[in-house]
Amino acid sequence: MRFISLALFFVLFSQTSFAIVFKNLRNDQYVPPHCKLTKPEFFNVNMLEVFTISIRGAVERGFTFEYPMSRENAAFLFRSFKNGDIYTKKFMDKVNRNFELKRDFKIIQDQHNYRGFHFQSEGEVLEILALTTIQSNLDALNSNLFVTGSVEYYGDRSHAPKGELDVLIADKTNCLAIGYGEVKLGLRSRSKASRQVRRFSENLIYSGFTRGVSSPSFNYMQ
């Protein structure tokens, strides 16, 4: 009887030791009010879909999805938004000569304030384009899902973040997560992206929430 009690204590202690705390880094207006603060119970599901995203050419490098843009265009848009160059004639002349730049600039211009982006890194350019693309595709299917990102997670005994969710897909009604993904601008970062995705799933499983992960059942980027 004592052995059983000690075993039960060990299980409970192990689970609480791996508890996860979340911090939302952006004020994303697409997130329903009751889902604004990400909570561990949002991941209390049987299965989560996991994926990685990068720029053109990513799928053949092993990423799950890709967005049709070049690293050069991502860097240009990042510098332009960060430095305020988007209001110059030189910027607009270049954008208007390039279909992809014009498309992506319009998306970012329309969405970045609403989604709370401030462009602290080049990667945020691809992140906002990925979030917008996924949300648009889900809306076209009349789904009840929302897409957000920039969600840090911590261990309950640590003040240092363990990682960050670049993309999180969840139900608008009950906030339960459907899937999550990692976004990388660098095509050589596939291994790192996969490790980061795996690290979060391992933390969830240790915490007693998600029971497993799977590949996406739907191409969120097309």
For 88, which DSSP code?
S
Is residue 10 scored above 70 in pLDDT? no
Of the pLDDT bands very low, low, confident and very high (cuts 50, 70, 90), residue 14 is: very low
Measured CA to CA, the distance from residue 176 to residue 38 in angstroms comes to 10
For residue 52, the SS3 value is strand
pLDDT tens for residues 78-133? 999 999 999 999 999 999 999 999 999 999 999 999 999 999 999 999 999 999 99
Cβ density class 15-47: b for 16+ within 10 Å, e for less: eeebbbbbebebebebbeeebeebebebbebee
How far from 183 is each of 102, 166, 173, 187, CA to CA, in Å? 22, 6, 26, 10
How far from 87 is each of 73, 74, 92, 93, CA to CA, in Å? 17, 18, 8, 11
Mean pLDDT of 59-80: 98
Q: For position 205, what pLDDT does the model report?
A: 84
Work out whether strand 48-55 and strand 213-214 pair parallel, antiparallel, or are unpaired: parallel
Q: Which residues contact 7 (CB under 8 A, 6 or more apart)?
A: none
Report pTM: 0.89
Q: For position 155, what pLDDT does the model report?
A: 77
Give strand pairing partners of 177: 170
Of the pLDDT bands very low, low, confident and very high (cuts 50, 70, 90), residue 44 is: very high
Nearest one of 172, 176, 128 to 150, comparing CA atoms: 128
* Helix, strand, coil percent content, the chain, rounded in steps of 5: 45, 20, 35
Instruction: Give the gyration radius of the chain's Cα atoms.
Output: 19
CA 206 distance to own-chain centroid: 21
| Per-domain boundaries in the chain | 19-214
Mean pLDDT for all residues in the chain: 90
